[in-house]
Amino acid sequence: MAKHVLRGVTVVYVLFLLVLPVALITWRTFGDGLGPFVEALTSPSALHAFKVTIVVAGWAVLANTVFGVGAALLLVRGRFPGKRLLGAFIDLPMAVSPVVVGLALILVYGRFSPAGGLLESWGVQVIFSTPGMVIATVFVALPLVVRAVVPVLEELGDEQEQAAHTLGASHLQTFVRITLPGIRWALGYGIVLCLARSLGEYGAVAVVSGRLVDQTQTLTLFVEERFQNFDQPAAFAAATALALIAVVTLLLTKLLRPKDRIDGN
Amino acid sequence: MAIEVRDVNKSFGTTPVLHDVSLDVTAGSLTALLGPSGGGKSTLLRVIAGLERPDTGTVRISGVDATRLSPQRRGVGFVFQHYAAFKHLTVFRNVAFGLEIRKRPKDEIRRRVMELLELVHLEKLADRYPSQLSGGQRQRMALARALAVEPQVLLLDEPFGALDAQVRKELRTWLRRLHDEVHVTTVFVTHDQEEAIEVADTIVVLAGGEVVQAGSPGEVYDNPANPFVMRFLGPVTEIGGSLVRPHDIEISPDPVDGGSPAVVSRVVRLGFEVRVEVETGGHEAWVQVTREQADRLGLGPGDTVHLRPAPGARSLALAL
């Protein structure tokens, strides 16, 4: 009996929270055939939003990959005071609301702050522009690569690296030939997660971008703006596109799950 | 001298690990660093390899001061207890690693690697990955990998420690033969005195972070510097206030000069040898005799016998 109740609750839960919304969006999107969907997504505004999303997410993923691998190496291999503090700081973006992040960035890099003013005098505009959006996205997706790589690096140990050193390899050669291949699956997993998070980011980017249509509008902002302006076909088309990207990345993470690949050759 | 270690001190945090350690290793020798765990032997080996930096003191390799050199410039081969195999590379690529780093021509690498794989009997497994090898095979691969770069010294850290007893014994004999073929100066760490005596031509006993004694296996076994070394190198027992090897004791039914009386408590037959357990001077001791001797004496529990160290036997007086 209890089993049936549990099953019923689960089905209702999943139905109302997941299946129904996704199905409705898909139905609304493709209700009038593929034509309107393609048309809505190829409007100049939509294409521009795609471009901005890809640029911002691309830079954010690149930055977080480089930083993530470096921070993971530092956390696992390094011995320095404040290591636990660094570990805690890296997890901070998980706990802080993206809107807060956005506001904080405006405080630091806005036109009327010292740092922002200085950058502005050099001709670099951070807030209401791509750099600010990249920084915001980097911040919210910061822990993903680090947290994917750290356990694998711990599991790997440092004996292989020491062996490589005694065989004449420099630090860079050891990293490229030994460490990187050792963490490649975990790194791939972290990068995909980071990409998914960056593509879907809304709150922090909404604050720092200023939501300038055809300028700083990402795909998520585009969905919101179109919806507010009663252009539902465009909003739903873009939302479906985002959902499709999410499904693809989800499949990729399943493929790359580090647990299954830890000693896969 | 292939390796000269002078007055090396090393601490991890506040724990001292090596204390004023000096050591000479002659070129072409096979030296064992022997001692109980925590004695500092692995740390000393890692200091020689450059994987640890000494707090004070110097390390010279082939006459060159290597104290400040990174491991990659020392010309040492290092073999780890847990193999440190490059898991994502085949056996061939593992062995070729050092040569590829040195950018040797492809055909030279191929020739050299196959030569080494034949030396360690892995030529048929060149295309396998480490995960497809047994422990003994992985360790032989690691040895070939270390030898590939023609190191000036070969350092092995408990090389057989992770293997089961049978494979351990085989690899021991094999290492000795390999050394006779290759002649590279070799230092290996072990806590197994039998392994050290069987394989090495010099034994350095390390305990509490200090070198307690160094010499040939025979010297160290027969002339131990102190009771600790004597106990560590082989079985000992105590009679008449001295530490003696149980096989160096004369046992007789009649009183003898310099003998101590003892009462037999048990006679244990272990194949070719017989272990006679006795009580003497208020404590337990034991004597190892041959089966023939035991039969001749006809010993049984409760018999009174007289014990003394055999003539020429080494014994150490215990400070009372």
Of the candidates B212, B228, B244, which is a domain's last residue? B228
Domains of chain A: 51-258 (1.10.3720.10)
- Which amino acid, one-letter code, is at B10? K
Cβ proximity of B161 and B135 under 8 Å: no
Rounded to a whole number, what is the distance in Å from the CA of A183 to chain B's nearest CA? Answer: 10
Provide the pLDDT for residue B129: 95
B49, A166 Cβ separation under 8 angstroms: yes
Based on the fold, state whether residues B69 and B147 are members of the same structural domain: yes
The residues, ordered by sequence, that sit 6+ positions from A254 with a Cβ below 8 Å of its Cβ are none
Looking at the structure, tell me whether residues B275 and B212 fall in a common domain.
Answer: no
Task: Indicate yes or no: CB of A168 within 8 angstroms of CB of B98.
Answer: yes
pLDDT mean over B42-69:
94
**Cβ-defined contact of A165 to B146 (cutoff 8 Å):** no
Rg (CA), chain B: 24
Q: Structure pTM?
A: 0.83
Chain B neighbors of A185, CB-CB under 8 A: none
Closest CA to B155 of B45, B237, B234: B45
The verdict on a CB contact (< 8 Å) between A163 and B84 is yes
- Average pLDDT on A52-56 reads 94
Question: Are residues B84 and B13 part of one domain?
Answer: yes
A168 touches chain B (CB under 8 A): yes
User: What is the spatial distance between Cα B204 and Cα B213, in angstroms, rounded to a whole number?
Assistant: 6
Task: Give residue-wise pLDDT tens across range B259-314.
Answer: 888 999 999 988 888 999 999 888 889 999 988 888 888 888 888 999 988 887 77
* Claim to verify: residue B218 and residue B286 sit in the same structural domain: no
Pairing of strands B185-190, B153-157: parallel
* Last-in-domain residue among B228, B243, B278: B228
Q: What confidence score (pLDDT) does residue A257 get?
A: 67
Q: CB distance A182–B88 less than 8 Å?
A: yes
DSSP 3-state of B100: helix
Instruction: Establish if A152 touches chain B: CB-CB under 8 angstroms.
Output: no
Q: How many structural domains are present in chain B?
A: 2
pLDDT on residue A262: 46
Q: Is B36 left (phi over 0), alpha (psi -120 to 50) or beta?
A: beta
Q: Are A105 and A208 in contact (CB under 8 A)?
A: yes
- Most B-contacting residue of A161, A166, A177 (CB-CB within 10 A), to test interface: A166
pLDDT tens, position by position, A212-238: 888 899 999 999 999 999 988 889 899
Estimate to the nearest angstrom the gap between the alpha carbon of A87 and the chain centroid: 19
Q: In degrees, to the nearest 5, what angle opens at C-alpha B180 toward C-alphas B174 and B183? A: 120
Domain match, B107 and B212 both: yes
Nearest of B210, B286, B223, B205 to residue B251 by alpha carbon: B286
Q: How confident is the model at residue A117 (pLDDT cuts 50, 70, 90)?
A: confident
In this structure, are B196 and B104 located in the same domain? Answer: yes
The CATH number covering residue B297 comes to 2.40.50.140
Task: Output the six-digit token pair for A187.
Answer: 């790194």
| Selected residue of B78, B99, B103, B147 to mutate for chain A interface (largest A Cβ count, 10 A) | B78
Residue A141 touches chain B, beta carbons under 8 Å: no
Place of tokens 């050299």: B112
Domain range enclosing B302 = 235-317
Look at the block and give the residue holding tokens 């706990």. A95
Query: CB-CB: which of B76, B88, B101 is closest to A181?
Result: B88
Rounded to whole angstroms, the Cα distance separating B85 from B129 reads 9
Q: Are B198 and B221 in contact (CB under 8 A)?
A: no
| Lowest-pLDDT range of A117-121, B114-118, B203-207 | A117-121
Phi, psi of B284 (to 5 degrees): -90, 145
B39 has a chain A CB within 8 A of its CB:
no
Closest CA to B189 of B302, B46, B34: B34
Between A76-80, A103-107, B316-320, the lowest mean confidence (pLDDT) is in B316-320
B293 and B166: one domain? no
Q: Between chains, do B84 and A162 touch, taking CB under 8 Å as contact?
A: yes
Closest-CA residue to A63 (of A172, A196, A179, A198): A198
CB B55 within 8 A of CB B40: no
Q: How far apart, in whole angstroms, are the C-alpha atoms of residue B226 and residue B241? A: 14
How many CA within 13 A on the CB side of residue A240?
Answer: 21
> The tokens of A49 are what?
């939003």
Chain A residue with Cα closest to B150:
A167
* pLDDT tens figures, A81-114: 989 899 899 999 888 999 999 999 999 998 888 8
**A261 has a pLDDT exceeding 60:** no
Question: Which chain A residue has its CA at the smallest distance from B132's CA?
Answer: A265
Three-class secondary structure of residue B158 per DSSP:
coil
Residues of chain A with C-beta less than 8 angstroms from the C-beta of B161: none
Reply yes or no on whether the pLDDT at B232 is more than 70.
Answer: yes
B56, B203: one domain: yes
CA A42 – CA A95 distance, rounded (Å): 37
A153 touches chain B (CB under 8 A): no
Q: Which of B228, B248, B278 is the last residue of a domain?
A: B228
CB of A170 closer than 8 Å to CB of A216: no
CB B188 within 8 A of CB B142: no
Q: Examine the domain organization and report whether B220 and B248 are in the same domain.
A: no
- Report the CATH number that the domain containing residue B71 is assigned in CATH: 3.40.50.300
Residues B150 and B263 in one domain: no
Token reading at B269: 């037959």
Whether residue B318 is predicted with pLDDT greater than 90 in this model: the reply is no
Collect all residues with Cβ–Cβ distance below 8 Å to A195 and sequence separation of at least 6. Answer: A57, A61, A249
Most confident option among A252-261, B43-52, B176-185: B43-52
Query: What value does the mean pLDDT of chain A take?
Result: 89
Query: For residue A230, what are its two tokens?
Result: 């009663």
B80 touches chain A (CB under 8 A): yes
- In chain A, the largest separation of any two C-alpha atoms, in whole Å, equals 71
Residue A258, pLDDT score: 53
Please list, residue by residue across B68-99, b when 16 or more beta carbons sit within 10 angstroms of its beta carbon and e when fewer do. eeebbebbbbbbbbebbbbbbbbbbbbbbbbb
Average predicted confidence (pLDDT) for chain B: 91
The answer on B294 and B218 residing in a single domain is no
| Exposed / middle / buried, residue B106 (Cβ in 10 Å: 0-12, 13-18, 19+) | exposed
Residue B266 CA to residue B279 CA, distance in Å, equals 10
Same domain, B17 and B87: yes
A162 contacts in B (CB within 8 Å)? Answer: 51, 71, 78, 80, 84
Q: A 236-265 residues with CB below 8 A of B? A: 263, 265
* Closest in A160, A170, A182 to B72, CB measured: A170
Nearest CA in chain A to B151: A167
